[in-house]
Chains A and B, each alone.
Chain A
């Protein structure tokens, strides 16, 4: 189980956002991703392997963490960054796959 906090984060453009994802048991950081999702749009991969930015993702987005605690940081919020954010663990075994998403954090304009 992945628990994201806070459920809602109200900030202003230009501020720093820190989003948390906590796993109920230790996960390999190699298999932790973050997505951005806006209403009516396709989700967008931001970070994979906990800290690697996906191609085309601005460097204001960064990921960190290991074990059970992971963080997505947006250094300086732009208007287009207000959206839902999900963490995901991809793992399990070849026979029993697990692609588990967190409950999400809504990043809204204050």
Chain B
């Protein structure tokens, strides 16, 4: 069974750093892209960035380039999303999601076929 389990809710102050995780199991972690999606309160889903764990190839949405860092640790089948300096506007639920397609083909024109349960990040002074 494919599972993506995200770390728990976080509360931080503006300017603080944060790294949230997405632990995966049930498939070959290195064979699929892992993406991150933001949902601000009452707003739409927004794709942020994506990483291919086998070679750490990483791509970002222009809206999030330079604002966050997406990474993966294939030794423990986990993906990460991190901020160096949070803003109040980063308050949102963040989802990790697996890119579908054939394992190991590095296909990127694929939907997100499995998702994590979401991590609520609250940034408030």
Tell yes or no: B78 within 8 A of A by CB: no
Beta-carbon contacts under 8 Å, A57-82 to B: none
Cross-chain contact A31 with B45 (CB below 8 angstroms):
no
Cα of A102 to Cα of B46 in the assembled complex, Å: 9
Which listed residue, A42, A101, A103, touches B115 by the CB 8 Å rule? A42
Which listed residue, B45, B62, B109, touches A43 by the CB 8 Å rule? B45
Residues in B with CB closer than 8 Å to A48 are 100, 110-111, 113
Known: A33-B111, A45-B111. A101 touches B44 (CB 8 A): yes
Residues in B with CB closer than 8 Å to A33 are 111-112
The count of A-to-B residue pairs whose CB atoms sit within 8 angstroms is: 67
Known: A33-B111, A90-B110, A94-B108. A45 touches B100 (CB 8 A): yes
Cα of A29 to Cα of B110 in the assembled complex, Å: 12
How many interface residues does A have (CB within 8 Å)?
Answer: 28
Cα of A37 to Cα of B37 in the assembled complex, Å: 13
Known: A86-B45, A99-B35. A42 touches B109 (CB 8 A): no
Secondary structure call for the B interface: strand
Cross-chain contact A45 with B112 (CB below 8 angstroms):
yes
Residues in B with CB closer than 8 Å to A16 are none
Beta-carbon contacts under 8 Å, B8-52 to A: 35, 37, 44-47, 50
Cα of A40 to Cα of B115 in the assembled complex, Å: 12
Residue of B nearest to A43 (CB): B115
Residues in B with CB closer than 8 Å to A25 are none
Cα of A104 to Cα of B46 in the assembled complex, Å: 12
Tell yes or no: A88 within 8 A of B by CB: yes
What residues of chain B have their CB less than 8 Å away from a CB belonging to chain A?
4, 35, 37, 44-47, 50, 59, 61-62, 95, 97, 100, 108-118
* 15 A-B pairs whose Cβ atoms sit less than 8 Å apart in the complex: A33-B111, A35-B112, A37-B45, A40-B117, A41-B117, A43-B112, A44-B115, A45-B100, A54-B113, A86-B44, A86-B45, A94-B108, A97-B61, A100-B47, A102-B44
